[in-house]
Amino acid sequence: MTEIERIDQLREELHLHNYKYYVENAPVISDQEFDHLMRELQDLEARHPEHYDPNSPSVRVGSDINKNFVQVEHRYPMLSLGNTYSQAEVTEFYERIAKALNEDFEICCELKYDGTSISLTYENGKLVRAVTRGDGVRGDDVTDNVKTIRAIPLVLHGDGYPRQFEMRGEVLMPWKVFEELNRERELREEPLFANPRNAASGTLKLQNSAEVAARKLDSYLYYMLGENLPHDGHYENLQEAARWGFKVSHVTRKVKTLQEIFDFINYWDVERKNLPVATDGIVLKVNSLRQQRNLGYTAKSPRWAIAYKFQAERALTRLLKVTYQVGRTGAVTPVANLEPVQLAGTVVKRASLHNADIIASLDLHIGDNVYVEKGGEIIPKITGVDVASRPEGSEKVTFITHCPECGSPLVRYEDEAAYYCTNESSCPPQIKGKIEHFISRRAMNIEGLGPETVDQFYQEGLIHDVADLYTLKAEDLVRLERMGEKSAENIIQGIARSREVPYERVLFALGIRFVGETVAKKVARAFRSIEALATATLDDLIHVDEIGEKIAGSILRYFADEKNRNLIERLRTAGLKLEADEEDLAGHTDKLQGKSIVISGVFARHSRDEYKEMIEKHGGKNVGSISKKTSFILAGENMGPSKLEKARALNIPVMGEDEFLAMVGEQ
């Protein structure tokens, strides 16, 4: 078999395994075997760029090229659905249809998935375009991002599909993925997504498809459009689509009577809570496409369909008071304290108020009767006030002006909804939070210490900042409650061992705002010692790859503060690593700083992976495909003709292996 034949074979196999896993939920090979085949395909494809296929299973991993989206017009506008919360209106809908059609009809009952809608165009069995709903007339072309969604077929099975047609459906983020994502965001102190719908639509608009791939979106398709569709029945077309490899819902039912419709509604109003994805209602559609055409459209929505929305679970209770929590970064979050009330199976006593703007828009008063809802959100929220029952002379809720923990005045930064306490060095929750971050596993990894011990040491006055850890003695600790000699000794040893933690992790452990793990690594590589970093200018900082003004500003502010500089001196005295180890940096240079380099072809002196490593070691970035941002192409033998042509067109230099090695000073 030639390599080209093998590529075709692998593509076919991987499409099938992908379908078995993500659509049928019944994998036939292990994840490892799958990865193995994928790697083989990627290697072969890299050697044969002339055999490129935009729908190869390998495009599912995405690429780290940033893209701006192009707006495209929908072939058929994407309308919204008329919707109702009332069963009486469902009856009216049914009767209206019966009267207008004046013949037998069937209704297709479907779940209303709560994600973001997508329009997919297939030509000759291949996905060619994916567009968001946008304003209904035109949306964003998000094809590269959508290709990373495994439940969406890139190449269809079998035959019998029209040469060109459109599938519409919903892109979803499963609850589990959503919760995991929010947990991570919380750790990184990024704003949380309110519900899986926002998370899914936010993800589709990410500029980097590799990031989209990591978010594990799912999708259900629920409508087929085009000329020459196989059947007159919407339901029958969907079953056909399932045979071509689309993921369509198994629970869709075709019914005739109103009673059957209500049975479906009532069943799913309860059962939907056990589904892995969010739903917010059910959709009823007249099944026959001919009858759909007869019924037609209003300006906004089809006359042949209606959405029945489930009531979000809601309760009315009294607002007792508003308290404020201060987080590790000093962000102040208002919390509503409520008279306990039963809601969606739990007793609710507190609800998030998010920020000052939300309080103001609700016009909250203490003692108000408020509506609490638990919709897609994890934390219950207040959605309204029963103003009519407001007690006379009640006090309006105004956001606090000073920190409830330390009394410092609060500030609000431009473009941010939250208020902050900026007293980083003596506001208790901020101090404790900083120490907790410092000792955590990915930072200094000090064994034996945890949030409770930190709290205890702080309460006892043993530590006020991270440098105090290094002057603790076992004798001080054994005096504390619940502290044996052995554990005290372990803690002291754990602290001592942290002196070996490399500079880049110390940098992360300091907890400088916006300097997470990855940024710390970049910074440590660019500024080999903490002095070098402390004396860097704005200009020096923003020249480092991936460091923008926001991060640079935060680093400058950190070192401008004398308290922080003193802290660092004390950490130096304690013996922490505040500069990069020689061996750690072996051979690292910044010769390729800021360069985006594409590797193409087959090499004689080193492997592709070795070249990739070399590029990174010298501060450059290896990117997947050629764009106008590419600095140069590192080309071996047999560079693909299409790549070569693209490089020429964009005027991008092509460099051979020897020339490259000489440039970076390697053999």
Q: Does 14 bind Zn ion (CB under 5 A)?
A: no
| Residue 424 binding result from Zn ion, ligand AMP, none, given CB thresholds of 5 to 8 Å by partner type | none
Quick check: 113 binds ligand AMP (CB under 6 A)? yes
Q: Which of 45, 166, 170, 218 binds ligand AMP (CB under 6 A)?
A: 170
**Residue (170 or 368) nearer to ligand AMP, CB:** 170
- The pair of structure tokens assigned to 142 is 């998000």
Q: Is 368 annotated as a binding residue?
A: no
In sequence order, the 6+-apart residues with CB closer than 8 A to the CB of 573 are: none
**By CB under 5 A, what part of segment 417-476 binds Zn ion?**
421, 423, 427
Tell me how many residues contact Zn ion (CB under 5 A).
7
Instruction: Tell me how many residues contact ligand AMP (CB under 6 A).
Output: 11
Considering the complex, what minimum distance in angstroms separates the CB of residue 336 from Zn ion? 21
Q: In what order do the strands lie in the sheet with 621-623?
A: 621-623, 596-600, 632-635, 654-655
Return the residue matching tokens 């590029």.
615
Round to whole Å and give the CA distance between 487 and 498: 17
Cα–chain center distance at 627: 25
Answer for which of 170, 240, 405, 504 binds Zn ion (CB under 5 A) is 405
Q: Give backbone dihedrals phi and psi of 65, rounded to 5 degrees, phi first.
A: -85, 130
Strands 313-326 and 369-374: antiparallel
Under the binding rule (CB under 6 A), the answer on residue 264 touching ligand AMP is no
- H-helix or E-strand spanning residue 429: helix 428-439
Q: Is 108 annotated as a binding residue?
A: no
Query: How many helices and strands in the chain, by DSSP H and E?
Result: 24, 22
Residue 421 binds which of ligand AMP, Zn ion, none (CB < 5-8 A, kind-dependent): Zn ion
Q: Residue 581 CB: number of other CB atoms within 10 A?
A: 12
Contacts of 100 (CB under 8 A, 6+ apart): 294, 295, 303
Stretch near Zn ion under the rule CB under 5 A, chosen from 122-130, 196-204, 295-303, 401-409: 401-409
- Please report how the helices 3-22 and 31-47 are oriented relative to each other, as an axis angle in degrees rounded to 10: 140
User: Is 112 one of the binding residues for ligand AMP (CB under 6 A)?
Assistant: yes
Bridge-based pairing of strands 313-326 and 621-623 is: unpaired
Tokens in use for 113?
């998935």
Rounded Cα gap, residues 358 and 349, in angstroms: 19
Rounded Cα distance between 228 and 491, Å, is 73
Q: Which two tokens stand for residue 338?
A: 């409520």
Annotation-wise, does 309 bind a ligand?
Answer: yes
Q: Which of 20, 67, 112, 486 is catalytic?
A: 112
Is 83 near ligand AMP (CB under 6 A)?
yes
Binding partner at 148 among ligand AMP, Zn ion, none, C-beta below 5 to 8 Å by kind: none
Residues contacting 90, CB < 8 A, separation 6+: 84, 258, 261, 262, 265, 284, 306, 308
Residue 642 is labelled as binding a ligand: no
Residue 335 makes contact with Zn ion by CB under 5 A: no
Choose the binding region for ligand AMP from 63-71, 108-116, 196-204, 504-512 (rule: CB under 6 A): 108-116
Among 151, 200, 224, 283, binds ligand AMP (CB under 6 A): 283
Tell which one of 56, 117, 203, 355 touches ligand AMP (CB under 6 A): 117
Q: Residue 83: which of Zn ion, ligand AMP, none does it interact with, CB under 5 to 8 A by kind?
A: ligand AMP
Which of 406, 472, 501, 663 lies at the binding interface for Zn ion (CB under 5 A)?
A: 406
Site for ligand AMP in 191-250 (CB under 6 A): 222
CB-based contact 367:322 (threshold 8 Å) = no
Q: Which is nearer to ligand AMP, 23 or 81 (CB)?
A: 81
Q: CA–CA separation, 594 vs 543, rounded Å?
A: 8
> Whole-angstrom Cα distance, residue 401 to residue 592?
49
Q: What residue 307 binds from Zn ion, ligand AMP, none (CB within 5 to 8 A, per partner kind)?
A: ligand AMP
**427, interface contact from ligand AMP, Zn ion, none, CB < 5-8 Å by kind:** Zn ion
H/E stretch holding 457 reads helix 451-459
If one asks whether residue 14 binds ligand AMP (CB under 6 A), the answer comes out as: no
81: contact with ligand AMP by CB under 6 A:
yes
3-state SS class at 8: helix
Binding site partner of 110, from Zn ion, ligand AMP, none, Cβ cut-off 5-8 A by kind? ligand AMP
The dihedral built from the CA positions of residue 486, 491, 494 and 496, taken in this order, carries a sign that is negative
What tokens does 244 get?
Answer: 């071509």
The interface region with Zn ion, picked from 367-375, 392-400, 404-412, 559-567 by CB under 5 A, is 404-412
Residue 617 known to be catalytic: no
Q: Segment contacting ligand AMP (CB under 6 A): 112-120, 418-426, 471-479, 521-529?
A: 112-120
| Rg, the chain, Cα only | 30
Binding of ligand AMP by 110 (CB under 6 A): yes
CB of 406 to Zn ion, least distance (A): 3
Residue showing tokens 């078995």: 20
Contact 142, 134 (CB under 8 A): no
- Does position 171 bind Zn ion by CB under 5 A? no
Residues identified as active-site: 112
| Positions at the binding site for NAD(+) | 31-35, 80-81, 110, 133, 170, 285, 309
- Residues in the site for ligand AMP, rule: CB under 6 A? 80-81, 83, 110, 112-113, 117, 170, 222, 283, 307
- Residues in the site for Zn ion, rule: CB under 5 A? 403, 405-406, 408, 421, 423, 427
